[in-house]
Every structure is written in structure tokens, then in C-alpha cells.
Amino acid sequence: MAVMTMIQAITDAMRVEMERDENIIVLGEDVGVNGGVFRATDGLQEKFGENRVFDTPLAESGIVGTAVTMAALGMRPIAEIQFGGFVYECMDQIATQAGRLRFRTGGRFQVPLVVRTPYGGGAKTPEMHSDSFEAYFLHTPGVKVVVPSNPYDAKGLLISAIRDNDPVIFYENMPLYRSVKQEVPEDAYTVPIGKANVVKEGTDVTVIAYGNMVRLSQDAIAAVEKERGVNIELIDLRTISPLDMDTIFESVDKTGRVVVVHEAVRTGGVGAEIIARINEEKILKLEAPCVRVTAPDTPYPPTLVEDKWLPSKGRIAAGIKKVLDF
């Protein structure tokens, strides 16, 4: 075991997989010599050479689109989109091309592609960098969406994503890159896609979160538990698509009260989908209406406003109390 930050765990996942399979390549803007703007690909070009790790032209559609055919023709590309806010530039290549090629060709072609991208608020980036667009891909058949919340999961999930035969959008929360350290096995291991993690068991409320919101929810939960003497369950989704509803339903059976936390804007978000599914299957188990703690429906705010805009420990705590007090 080694102690790693999330970004080290991400680099390590690529390194161990690239050692195993020479068809795995890395491509993106500044991922070679520079090792990525966050250093996620640090040392990979040095180790694997310029024919495995590519500094591509600055063009997101080109990056993902070339990776689509390379994947369909037998490679296993890991494409980096430098910031999650830039993903519209390659929306066609992800949603229409990568996500549909297996479907269109009745299974003749598959697209084992990983699109890694940093996202999430709090890093004080320039505008149009930090947005959380994961719900678009939850709405997109044919692609999977993964969001780790810690170094161990990041490495295991990224290895699963690389080995998956369908396109996976791999979201990396920027503030989490270096803020948490954890023991991470040095060899390859997998954390399964499509399986949520019950971070903390509880009986009174279910809090569902992912990415950086897991850590924030933990703080809020501790505060409410202390204040109210309740026992709150926390689920880290880990995968946005496909959603692990079995784990959520099991929790709802116990608690009957649900809070979904995400930093993406509220309308049409991941929370909406989860709550709709809870309504479809578990309406009679509910003791209170499900609550969403999210950012408001605006574009991502200017830097100095972002901390007030993002869900906070206090707002999450208020959401939990709302379902408790209903």
C-alpha cells in the first residue's frame, strides 16, 4: 500500500493498465510533456513514449472523435477533456458517435473509450471550466458516467472504466485532486461500475451524494446527528450511469427519508432522476417528500460567488432537517 492523493491514484491507474495492455493510449491537450494541467498524466509519456501518450491539437471534438474510431478498431483510448466545462465541444462525438456506434451497428463495433475530465466547483477556475454536466450523460443512452469521491475508488473505478467495453465518462472533482490522501494498493484492482457505496449506515435519513459532495455531506451529517441524536445513512453513488438503485431502495426501506445532494444545477439533474425512481418504486415507504440540495438553476457563477452558490454543509444540514421535521 502507498498513500496517494486522488490525482496520484488516477495517474497510477493509467500507469498499471498501460503496462498491462499496449492498446491503451492517452490523448488530450497538454497530457504529454506537461503531464496534464493538473498533472494527472504526469510521467506517462516519459514512461510509455510518444506513441502511447499524445499531446493532441487543441480540439475536443477531434480528440474524442479520433478516439471513437481508434476504440472501434481495437485500441483502448483514454481521452482527456481538459475541463468539464468544455464538454459541449465534443458532445456530438460522445453522445451521437461513441454512445451509439454499438447500437447503430447491431454490436459489430464497440467503443471502449474513457473520457476523463476534471469538474466541480471550489477550485476558483476561470468561468466555463467548473460546471457539473454529468446529468447530460445520464440522459444519454450508450455511455456510462463515473464520479469517484476518494483516491481508492478513483483508481479502482478508472481501471474498471478502462476495461469496460462501452464508453465511460470519468468525472474527476477538482477540489478532491489533492485534498484527501488515502492508502491505495499499488497493483491493479477494480471498483465495479454501477455499484454505489454505503459510506455510513444509518436508520433515519438517507443522504445520497457523489464527488466532493460526499465529504461535505459527511460533515453535515455529523452535525445533525449530534444535534438531533439521529442516525443518518450516507450513500456515495460512485456511478451516475447506470444508477445503483438497489442500494438506494434498500436504504429507503430503512429510512423513508431521502436527501439528494449535488453541485450541479437542480432542474433535470441526477437528483430528479433518483427521486423519480424512488417515487415509482418506494412511494409507500416514504415518510417525507424527498429533498434536493443543489446549486440553483443558473450558469456557473463568477469565482467569488461560487462558495455561496455551491451546496454547503449548512444547506445540506438544513435539507436533512427538512425531511426529519416533515
Partner 1 sequence: MLQILDTEGKLVKGQKAPNLSDDELKDIYRWMLRLRVYDALSIKLNRQGRLGFYAPLGGQEACQIGSMAALRKTDWLFPSYRDLGASLYHGWSIKDTYLWSRGQINGMKIPDDVNLFPPQIIIASQCIHAAGAGWKFNLKNEDHVAITFFGDGATSQGDFHEGLNFAAVYNAPVIFFNQNNGYAISVPLHKQTKSETIAQKALAYGMKGIRIDGNDILAVYKAVSEAAERARNGEGPTLIEAVTYRLGPHSMSGDDPTRYRPKSEEEEWKEGKDPVTRFRLYLESKNLWTEEWENEIEKEMKDEISVAIKEVQKAPIGEVEEIMEYVYEEMPVELKKQHAEVLSWKGAK
Please give the residue ranges that form the binding site for partner 1 (CB under 8 A): 25, 51, 56-57, 59, 61-62, 65-70, 72-75, 92-93, 96-97, 101-110, 141-142, 144, 164-166, 194, 241-246, 277
| CA 52 to centroid of chain Cα atoms | 25
129 an active-site residue?
A: yes
Nearer to partner 1, 61 or 312 (CB): 61
Q: What is the largest CA-CA distance in the chain?
A: 59
Nearer to partner 1, 49 or 302 (CB): 49
> Which of 129, 282, 292, 321 does the annotation list as catalytic?
129
User: Least distance (Å) from partner 1 to the CB of residue 196?
Assistant: 12
Cell 447500437 identifies what position?
103
Closest CB to partner 1 among 52 and 228? Answer: 52
Strand order in the sheet with 24-28: 53-55, 24-28, 76-80, 114-119, 168-173, 144-146, 239-241
Q: What sign does the CA torsion over 38, 44, 49, 53 have?
A: negative
CA distances to 155, 213, 304, 305 from 308, in Å = 31, 15, 8, 6
Distance, in Å, from the CA atom of 65 to the CA atom of 50, rounded to the nearest integer, reads 20
Q: Cα separation of 157 and 148, whole Å?
A: 7
Side-chain-side CA neighbours of residue 52 (13 Å)? 18
Minimum distance from CB of 318 to partner 1 (Å)? 31
Considering the complex, state which of residue 101 and residue 310 has its C-beta at the smaller distance from partner 1. 101
The distance of closest approach from Cβ of residue 99 to partner 1 in the complex, given in angstroms and rounded to an integer, is 8
Q: How far apart are CB 103 and partner 1 at their closest, in Å? A: 5
Q: Of 52 and 285, which CB lies nearer to partner 1 in the complex structure?
A: 52
DSSP string, 199-268: EE--SSEEEEE-THHHHHHHHHHHHHHHHH---EEEEE--EEES--HHHHHHHHHHH--EEEEEEEESTT
Is residue 301 a contact partner of residue 235, using CB atoms and an 8 Å limit? no
CB 98 within 8 A of CB 133: no
Query: Whose Cβ is closer to partner 1: residue 64's or residue 232's?
Result: 64
CB atoms within 10 A of CB 227: 11
The torsion angle over the Cα atoms of residues 308, 8, 117 and 105, rounded to 10 degrees, is -150
Termini Cα distance of the chain = 46
Q: Please, which residue, 57 or 296, has the CB nearer to partner 1? A: 57
So which residues are the catalytic ones? 129
